[in-house]
Structure 1
Amino acid sequence: MNLDWPLFFVALGLAFLMEGLPYFLLAERMPPVLLTLASRPPRALRVLGLTSMILGVLLVALGRSF
């Protein structure tokens, strides 16, 4: 398997960008959001994580189809 390193770094950069946006744009609102997430049971967090991963895979598949 030959990894496309430039594409990998672009994808990683976009992931960091998307991860950092809420903290930059909504810095005042993030602590309550994080406290709410911390109070959720592990099963709910797993469902949220799984849903996010499925959405991510679908978006990657959609992007690669063009």
Structure 2
Amino acid sequence: MGFILLALGLVLIAEGLVYALAPSLVEHLLEMLRALSEAQRRNAGLAALALGLILVWLAFRFGV
């Protein structure tokens, strides 16, 4: 349970920093995402999921 809370906290910190430091960049990114097709957004989501899994695996592999 502790790792889940840690992971959630880190995600919220990263998200909060983006919104606090560059809110106009977030709006521009959302406009770019709207321009993508549903299939392209799905593929980007799957790529992000795969990268996240690899990073978590590496963290555990090297001793978190």
TM-score interval for Structure 1 and Structure 2 normalised by the shorter chain = 0.7 to 0.9
Q: Deviations over 1:26-56 (max 9, x none)?
A: 1122212111111210011011101100000
TM-score calculated relative to the size of structure 2: 0.84
TM-score calculated relative to the size of structure 1: 0.82
- For the residues of structure 2 that align with 1:31 and 1:52, how far apart are their CA atoms? 20
Structure 1 runs (4+) greater than 4 angstroms displaced: none
Report the structure, 1 or 2, having the larger helix content.
2
What RMSD over aligned residues (CA atoms) do the two structures have, in Å?
1.2
Q: Which moved more, 1:50-59 or 1:28-37?
A: 28-37
Percent of residue pairs identical: 32
- For the residues of structure 2 that align with 1:44 and 1:28, how far apart are their CA atoms? 23
Q: Give the counterpart of 2:60 among 46, 51, 64.
A: 64
Aligned residues: 62
In structure 2, stretches of 5+ residues that fail to align are: none
Matched residue SS, 1:28:
helix
